[in-house]
Amino acid sequence: MTTGNYNIEIPELNRYFGAKFGGGMYQNIINLIPPHKAYFELFGGSLAVFRNKKPALYSHLNDLSSTITPVYLKHFNLPNIKISNLSAIPILQELESLLDPIDSFIYLDPPYIKATRRSIGQYSHEMSDDDHRVLLDIINHFRCNVMISHYPNHLYDLALANWNTKSFKVMTRHGWQTEKVYFNYEVPTKLHDYSYLGNNFTDRQRIKRKALRLKSKLSRLPELERAALIDMIKNDFIDSIHIAGHSTSPLCTFL
């Protein structure tokens, strides 16, 4: 079982424009990510989601910026992590027919459409509206789970009309803004990572306190009694408990 995360202090990434650190953004995104074995973040940027969620068995991190990918290599050059410095669109075109529909998850955070932003020129590589149209057309054909972030806009709303969405109010460098995520699957009833479960910081703390109280009560029980209760819980709730990485379906054929 893969546990923990890669949430180490990396100033070069924390300062990246469009980073999903503020206003509980990465927590809200992680709370919508279903279980998976293979993870793909192809507009990497600050990697706020990757760095804070439970690792997958395999991850592919990509960014077109030649100044960002060396930082990835420095901090995340592990055997189960692939790092590339390419345009995301050809990678997606290659992956479309290769990924396992059950165990693969793609998170995309492209440069936002210029008309939706309050500042221009912050990205080292921009995307035109036509680039976004190509991107949206490609991901509409994927069978695996895909999520993409953007500010609310007509182009995305129209192209992804059949996808589910969720909006969040987040604090940016220019004040409060509405972020929207589009995803091609139902709101998950099982998560890859439950660490940030809750609607906000206060709610997450409430859940954590409840979990700690339950853990404390279990730890004080006699060993056999504790084992009996844990066994009962496993038997009664086995269908609703997901252990990350435990699946009989094959890994994506791309690996």
Instruction: Please tell me which residue, 199 or 160, carries the higher pLDDT value.
Output: 160
The domain spans of the chain are 1-255
Is the alpha carbon torsion for 194, 195, 201, 202 positive or negative?
A: positive
| pLDDT of 246 over the 50 cut | no
Task: Tell me how far the alpha carbon of residue 81 is from its chain's centroid.
Answer: 15
The dihedral over CA atoms of 31, 32, 34, 39, expressed in degrees to the nearest 10, equals: -90
Q: List, in order, residues 6 or more apart from 7 with CB less than 8 Å away.
A: 51, 52
Per-residue pLDDT reduced to its tens digit, 215-238: 898 899 999 989 898 888 888 776
Q: What share of the chain is helix, strand, coil (3-state, %, to 5)?
A: 35, 15, 50
Per-residue pLDDT reduced to its tens digit, 137-161: 999 999 999 999 999 999 999 999 9
Considering the segment(s) 1-255 as one domain, its CATH architecture is: 3-Layer(aba) Sandwich (3.40)
The helix or strand, by DSSP H or E, that contains position 167, with its residue range, turns out to be: strand 164-172
Mean per-residue pLDDT over the chain, rounded: 84
How large is the greatest C-alpha to C-alpha distance in the chain, in angstroms?
A: 65
